[in-house]
Amino acid sequence: MTPPSQLDQKENDVTNPTTALDVDLELVEHLEDRAAHIRKQVVRGAYLIPGTVHLGGPLSATDVAVALYYHFLGFDPENLDDPDRNRFILSKGHNGVLLYNILADLGLYTFDEVFGGYNKPHHPFGMHPNMHYIRGIEASTGSLGHGLSLGVGLSLANRADGRTSRTFVMTGDGEMEEGSNWEAIMYAGSHGLSNLVAIVDFNRSTGSFRHGEHMVVDWKPAFESFGWDVVEIDGNDMTAVVRAFSQLPPVVPGEKGKPVAVISNTVKGFGVDFMNGPKWHLGSINDENLQIAIESIDRNKLARRSH
């Protein structure tokens, strides 16, 4: 598989992901396997937890998060304080179980540690990730609308220090209703933060609209008007995800450029057919639907792969 550093050097147009770049199929299949595993762990965790847990959002965002953690971040559990590391901020912090399962799979702690006392008082793994309690979490999130501003600060600092690392921030589409995001977007474009990548998990499901209705915003011209480059992808298609991140232009030390927005079109609850749509924003898993969910995840992985 091609290491991320080499991929980063390719000179491609990030805004036009259909051009040229051949993706590494071995890498794509490896990431698809990890994504299916993580989706299953999210569902298994929900089975163990008494009460409800966020499911739809973690499942829509799994492919992008997996591509980053298992490849593009160059994430190293042995070197979490490396000042040159790339960082990921899950701004839609209510999807913390997605991060917990990825970090557990990468060896930072065990599945049982996460779900043994999940969301109970004094347990480190709460509904929202806390950077002070959990190794590997870059920012405490959960109150929507703060991740992009944190990402702006990190990106500014990295540029001032001459580093070439990137900050990736994932928001929800509902989260984009928070005005603070648009202040951060305006600032990042105006200050040429080429080391900042925003990913909008556009699963067309928010807290404040009925199913099928969502904010009237055309993401591409909206971000472009603030000086960003924009790429729109099917965020549940690992080939498209890999192609988009592979085409990010290199970060040149100290130089300004355009920040990049990845509009990730996804399906809420992706992978588990009966969870598709807004109904499973929060849910619980019982004996009956656990097995149906696991089989659905396997079936969907194979269906996507045969495309």
Q: Of these, 136, 172, 189, 271, which contacts ligand TPP (CB under 6 A)?
A: 172
Task: Decide: residue 198, CB within 10 A, 0-12 exposed, 13-18 middle, 19+ buried.
Answer: buried
Q: Cβ atoms within 10 A of the Cβ of 274, count? A: 13
Q: How many residues bind ligand TPP (CB under 6 A)?
A: 20
Q: Of these, 8, 63, 173, 229, which contacts Mg ion (CB under 5 A)?
A: 173
**Residues whose CB falls within 8 Å of the CB of residue 276, separated by 6 or more in sequence, listed in order:** 267, 268, 269, 270
Closest approach, Cβ 95 to ligand TPP, in A, equals: 6
Q: Which of 159, 174, 148 is nearest to 61 (CA)?
A: 174
Q: Which is nearer to Mg ion, 17 or 172 (CB)?
A: 172
**Residues whose CB falls within 8 Å of the CB of residue 75, separated by 6 or more in sequence, listed in order:** 68, 69, 85, 86, 106
Among residue numbers 188 through 207, which ones bind ligand TPP (CB under 6 A)?
Answer: 201, 203, 205-207
Closest approach, Cβ 83 to ligand TPP, in A, equals: 30
HSE (CB half, 13 Å, CA atoms) of 21?
25
β-bridge partners, 172: 201
Distance separating alpha carbons of residues 69 and 62, to the nearest angstrom = 10
**Which x/- pattern over 255-274 shows residues binding ligand TPP (rule: CB under 6 A)?**
-------------x------
Closest approach, Cβ 141 to ligand TPP, in A, equals: 9
Closest approach, Cβ 95 to Mg ion, in A, equals: 10
Q: Of these, 35, 99, 144, 193, which contacts ligand TPP (CB under 6 A)?
A: 144
Binding site for ligand TPP (CB under 6 A): 56-57, 60, 92, 94, 142-145, 172-175, 201, 203, 205-207, 268, 281
